[in-house]
Amino acid sequence: MAFEEQIQVLVEAEQNRQAVGPISDLVPGGLSLDDAHTICETIIGRRMAAGEQLVGYKVGFTNIPVREQMGLPDSTYGYVLESMALENAGELAMDELIAPKIECEICFRLSADLSGKGLTVEQVMAATDAVCASFEICDARIKDWKCPYPDFFADNGFSARIVLSGRWVPVGEVDLLEETVVLTQDGAKLAEGKGAAAMGHPANAVAWLAGKLADRGKGLQAGQLVMTGTLTPILPIAQGSTYVATFSTLGEVRKTFV
């Protein structure tokens, strides 16, 4: 099929834990956004056909100043499969990944289907059951994250793993704008952030995602998770360290990288 070479390059990069150059370089004239979506959707579709289950999505680059600093025209998204979702605490082997980075996020769990463009914060909140503290472990198959914007989509939004606290809090019990997180590495403070860092309100990230999925003829479904973007800087992970994110009301999420 079309893009089979590009698909195999990305699949083998993940399997071999070896980063590659931009996928756009493998396409005369570079990748269009539609091409990139086709590549990613094919890879995810094959994984699901092999028995994996879709549990939700991640939204990336929701911190607008950071996004603009990187020269990206918009945010990004990727698919989260069940095999990518990890429980709180415990260890994660670094040799499963290439060059992972950590983000502190608020994860939404939907209670109703959600689709279409131009959704409001109120509509997203009404369709949300609960939220929890989480890490996103990003990992690009593309070396040094240096690539044109469409490549982010071809590479599934640089998705790798998510770590969920497991403590789901009803969405009406959290002030999402003021929810604060402090990230530590081996007990030393690394960063701090608030919910408003994610597109001004984490629910805006869900609305943005719904709009982008609508462009692809898709929608969000009840029970699915949405990672709404980092509240802290995107930081490289040091092997042997334990990272803990302590949220003001959502509790704690932690993981040790070995």
Looking at residue 85, its pLDDT comes to 98
Mean pLDDT computed over every residue of the chain: 96
| Cα–Cα distance, 8 to 202 (Å, whole number) | 34
Mean pLDDT of 142-148: 94
Q: How many residues does the chain have?
A: 258
Cβ atoms of residues 111 and 148 within 8 Å: no
| Cα–Cα distance, 114 to 109 (Å, whole number) | 12
Percent of the chain surpassing pLDDT 90:
95
Mean pLDDT of 66-81: 92
**What domains are defined for the chain?**
4-257 (3.90.850.10)
pTM of the model: 0.97
| Cα–Cα distance, 3 to 44 (Å, whole number) | 14
Q: What is the pLDDT of residues 210-244, one digit of tens each?
A: 999 999 999 999 999 999 999 999 999 999 999 99
Nearest to 254 by CA among 232, 244, 162, 246: 244
- For residue 198, the cross-strand partners are none
Mean pLDDT of 77-89: 98
CA distances from 96 to 24, 76, 128, 131, 160 (A): 25, 23, 32, 28, 10
What values do phi and psi take at 126, rounded to 5? -65, -25
| Cα–Cα distance, 238 to 102 (Å, whole number) | 10
Reported confidence tier of residue 1, pLDDT bands at 50, 70, 90 = low
CA distances from 249 to 119, 182, 256 (A): 26, 12, 22
Q: Which two tokens stand for residue 54?
A: 């879709």
| Cα–Cα distance, 156 to 152 (Å, whole number) | 6
Q: What is the pLDDT of residues 179-193, one digit of tens each?
A: 999 999 999 999 999
What values do phi and psi take at 242, rounded to 5? -110, 125
| Cα–Cα distance, 183 to 155 (Å, whole number) | 27
| Cα–Cα distance, 148 to 254 (Å, whole number) | 32
Reported confidence tier of residue 64, pLDDT bands at 50, 70, 90 = confident
What sections of the chain are H helices per DSSP?
4-16, 33-49, 64-69, 121-126, 149-154, 202-215
Mean pLDDT of 18-33: 95
Mean pLDDT of 155-169: 98
